[in-house]
Structure 1
Amino acid sequence: MTAKPRRRTGTRAFFSRGTWAEASRVSEVLRKETVGGAVLLVAAAVALIWANSPWSETYFALRDLEVGGEPFGLHLTLTLGTWAADGLLAVFFFVVGLELKREFVAGDLRDPARAVLPIAAAVGGMVVPALIFVAVTLPVGDGATRGWAIPTATDIAFAVAVLAVISTHLPAALRIFLLTLAVVDDLLAVLVIAVFYTEDINVWALAATLVPLALFVFCVQRRIRAWWLLVPLAVATWVLMHESGVHATVAGVLLGFAVPVRRSEAAGGPDAGPGLAEQFEHRIRPLSAGVAVPVFAFFAAGVAIGGLDGFTRALSDPITLGIVLGLVVGKPVGIFLTTRLLAGFTRANLDDAVRWIDVFGIAVLAGIGFTVSLLIGDLAYGLGSERDEFVKIGVLTGSLVSAVLAAVLLRLRNRRYRAIWEQETADADHDGVPDIYQARQD
């Protein structure tokens, strides 16, 4: 009989179990994202059906309806689709900023050894899809490679909705990895948008953005929670950022980063109690997951496919093909290979509860790119253009294929996941903390 290989002494295990406080918080976040993901899927389905129905003209007329005004010379006459992409997604990215800051200030990822894995995996999961997209679209020319960032993002709400449908009880470490990977993905996507999809910058408007932003920072650092003060400052920051030419969602991330995580400057660690970041996240996440993202999806996912012939023609286009390959092949390859290489360089083993097939399943699930991918597609080729239509078909197709493949892979291990989940949630003494976490602390 072949002996089971022993873990090397002194090495750190990847995907090891963290603290109960972090595991329970992430579980709560993912439960909210599950509901938001279901609403997201319904909104996208309604848009897709409506856009291909006999009443399709009314859908596109609604999406392109202009509302707003030009107060103080500001350019705020936008279509409903643009309001959703620039305005509502700023709420989504505000939550992203809150989540990421909390993870690295008070979460398990404040430990650099734990933080390096999801960050490296996120980078790998962006580089490989981008290279695949460029390789496929480069021969086309005419600016086709401008959409290189489209297949680089992971939609956590969509991914969690898939997990809910297939009833998979992922181990806590894998859930935390998936959530953190998606959040880092979103942050990197915002940086990409700000750097590569910003053409003309109004320097004066960008400088003026610092005024309401600084006032917002001052207020939250002083623990001022008055909505009648914070909301106008946040809106002013968004308006000036939008006027500057930098995509307005960047304002959401900056505002999220400004909110303090800990209750007081003297308090430290995750046991110090909830700070403003956690309170704001608790209040605003339902608005983001249940309203902002689904409304954006409704206006962004509507595409006139044109029947089977139109769908076949779209799939044969290099842009569509590059997106599908980037999501289905590039994402899992980039995440999985980066994780394996990092394990080799650091001489780390996997935790006993996790196998490499589990990591690959999560990597395939991360190929579900929807919200941010559609946003980047609009910025790359222009909302309503022919190439933008190909983007939508590519994102929808790639995300659907990734969801199906991930469901198959993860279901194969679902019995094992359920056993781990029962172990992680067993609470024999009924004190609210599972026994396995108490044993780990003892």
Structure 2
Amino acid sequence: MSSPAPRRFLTRPSSWPEARFVADALRAETVGGMLLLAAAVIAMVWANSPWRDGYLRVQTFKIGPEALDLHISLAHWASDGLLAVFFLVAGLELKRELVVGDLSDVQRAILPVVAAICGVVVPALFYLAVVAGVDGAGRGWAVPTATDIAFALAALAVLGSHLPSALRSFLLTLAVVDDLIAITIIAVFYTDDLKPLLLLGSAVPLVAFWLVARRRVAPWWLLVPLGLATWTMVHASGVHATVAGMALAFTVPVRPHEGDSDSRAEHVEHAIRPLSAGFCVPVFALLASGVTLVGGGLGDAVSDRVTWAVVVALVAGKLVGVFGGTFLTARLTRAQLDDDLAWGDVLGLSLLGGIGFTVSLLVGELAFEDDPARHAHVKLGVLIASVLAALLAAVVLRRRERAYRTIAERDSRDDDGDGVPDVYQPGRG
């Protein structure tokens, strides 16, 4: 009797609808990543220009009603409000993957989930090892936990890599899973002065949002106020308000009603993703990534071990965590890499995981909100690590550019002109 064929991993998405969803999501994230990069550059130039006092005034300008602690700075609105939209989109992606996507298949899910977990734990350990003995520095252990998919894809677009759909899908799944881990860390470890009654009260609009979202016709003029009410109550409770975005996402149905082609989650995501990628994340980057290096700021940052702990954790820690988790999982499950790919591809993907821009900046703000100087050092470390990780990934991945082009041309071939690539049609791939 012949032995069963070994299980393959890092294969292309399991179906054409899944592949199309991933491609559409990544296309939007790439455009958003370009805007994010531009916003970060503007912030750095502005923060080190003769007009840097104006940048600080914009960051600290307060707006909003006094009620429910909503009279806050623009920078605070960006991190609590705009990033809640970012986590709403991430939550919709995650729920879809868990219910109808590749994560619903345990065999396909185990690899990116283990890689994501290792990509959180190992960088945190690297960070703590570097800052051991530095007073108060341990609070930033969660800074290197998440991968910024938009920044990573923008870097790939700039560098011209035709990354195969299997690797892009894995990168998206990895980023979405560690976003969930990051938001859980924020809720558990970075919540001060919890107000349980207000947190409990947020369940009322959240449940109402869920009930409305389940309807076949769910008017936006009901969903938006209920979502805002949930966010307001969570913000006032002391839990970081971005948690509301993930909670709202998990109430939205990802299976279409009978007779419909698209689900409620797809409708919501199509409406919100351009807002998140094109406005919310770039504005957050503009207000969060400016670091003043003139006037002694650079020397202070370079001499602080926290700066280098962030760099080491994001670049080396993510590499060891993601690559090591993938390699060990493959060995323990006796799975083999897809025939089109090599372990060098996984190495490059693991380096891309070190681009931790958006969520890393958010966690750095929460960890060191009472220490502005160290917060600035964390931001510089995140910027250095993200650029370094992108450059190293480019060196590794561009060596396979010709192979990637061949795979892309083959996987996009549609000889019968029906709009579905032949590789997704039985007997034609």
In the superposition, the TM-score normalised over structure 2's length comes to 0.97
Does the 8 Å CA contact 1:153/1:182 hold for their aligned counterparts?
Answer: yes
Q: 1:262·1:273 contact (CA, 8 Å) conserved in 2?
A: no
Counterparts of 1:389-404 in structure 2 under 5 Å? 389-404=376-391
Q: Where do residues 116-195 of structure 1 align in structure 2 (5 Å cutoff)?
A: 116-141=110-135, 143-195=136-188
Pick from 209, 214, 218 the counterpart of residue 207 of structure 2: 214
The reply to whether residue 80 of structure 1 matches residue 67 of structure 2 is no
- Deviation, structure 1 residue 8: 7.3
> Which residue in 2 is equivalent to 1:13?
8
Aligned to 1:343: 330
Q: Aligned to 1:235, which of 228, 236, 248?
A: 228
Task: Map 1:372-411 onto structure 2 (within 5 A).
Answer: 372-382=359-369, 385-411=372-398
Q: Displacement of 1:111 after TM fit?
A: 0.7
Whole-angstrom distance in 2 between the partners of 1:244 and 1:383 = 20
Report the 3-state secondary structure (helix = DSSP H, G, I; strand = E; otherwise coil) of the residue aligned with 2:144: helix
Match of 1:4 in 2: none
Matches within 5 A, 1:406-417: 406-417=393-404
Which letter maps to 2:307? T
Paired with 1:276 and 1:283, the residues of 2 have a C-alpha distance of 11
Cα deviation digits, residues 34-89 of structure 1 (max 9, x gap):
11001101111111100000010011011000111123xx1111000000000010
Letter in 2 for 1:184: V
Two-structure CA RMSD over aligned residues (Å): 1.6
- Determine which of 321, 328, 337 is the counterpart of 1:334: 321
* Amino acid across the alignment from 1:298: L
Instruction: State yes or no: 1:293 paired with 2:281.
Output: yes
Residue identity matched to 2:278 = G
Offset at residue 114 of structure 1 (A): 0.6
For 2:184, what is the secondary structure of its paired residue? helix
Match of 1:89 in 2: 83
Contiguous gaps of at least 5 residues in structure 1 = 1-6
Is the contact made by 1:367 and 1:402 (CA closer than 8 Å) also made in structure 2? yes
State the secondary structure of the residue aligned to 2:132.
helix
Whether contact under 8 Å (1:64, 1:79) holds in the other structure is yes
- Partner of 1:246 in structure 2? 239
Deviations 1:409-429, CA, capped at 9 Å, x for gaps: 110000000000001001111
3-state DSSP class of the match of 2:202?
helix
Amino acid at match of 2:32: G
Name the SS of the counterpart of 1:139 in structure 2.
coil
Does residue 47 of structure 1 match 2:34? no
Task: State the distance in 2 between where 1:66 and 1:209 align.
Answer: 25
Task: Give percent identity, aligned residues only.
Answer: 55
Which of 308, 329, 333 is 1:321 aligned to? Answer: 308
- Contact 1:315/1:394 (8 A) holds in 2: no
Question: Normalising to structure 1: TM-score of the pair?
Answer: 0.94
Task: Say if 2:422 and 2:428, in contact at 8 Å, map to a contact too.
Answer: no
Is the 1:19–1:108 Cα contact (8 Å) retained in structure 2? no
The CA distance in 2 between the partners of 1:177 and 1:312, in whole Å, is 39
1:364 matched to 2:359: no
How many pairs are equivalent? Answer: 427
Shift of 1:384: 7.0
* Deviation digits for residues 223-281 of structure 1 (CA, Å, limit 9, x no counterpart): 342111111100000000001000000000000010000112x68xxxx7310001111
Checking the alignment, whether the CA contact within 8 Å between 1:65 and 1:79 is kept in structure 2 is yes
Where 1:69 maps in the other structure, the secondary structure is coil
Instruction: Report the equivalent of 1:112.
Output: 106
In the aligned structure 1, how far is the partner of 2:254 from the partner of 2:427?
26
1:8–1:360 Cα change, 3 Å:
farther
Query: Secondary structure of the equivalent of 2:63?
Result: strand
- Measured after TM superposition, the shift of residue 438 of structure 1 is 1.2
Gaps of 5+ in 2: none
Give the direction of change, closer, same or farther, for the CA distance of 1:8–1:316 in structure 2 (3 Å limit). farther
Cα gap change, 1:432 to 1:209, in 2 (>3 Å): same
Q: Distance in 2 between matches of 1:169 and 1:434?
A: 17
Q: Distance in 2 between matches of 1:256 and 1:418?
A: 36
Distance 1:358 1:312 in 2: 37
Which structure 1 residue ranges, 4+ long, deviate > 6 Å from structure 2? none
Alignment partners' CA distance in 1, 2:408 and 2:113: 25
Shift in alpha-carbon separation, 1:159–1:276, aligned structure 2, 3 A: same
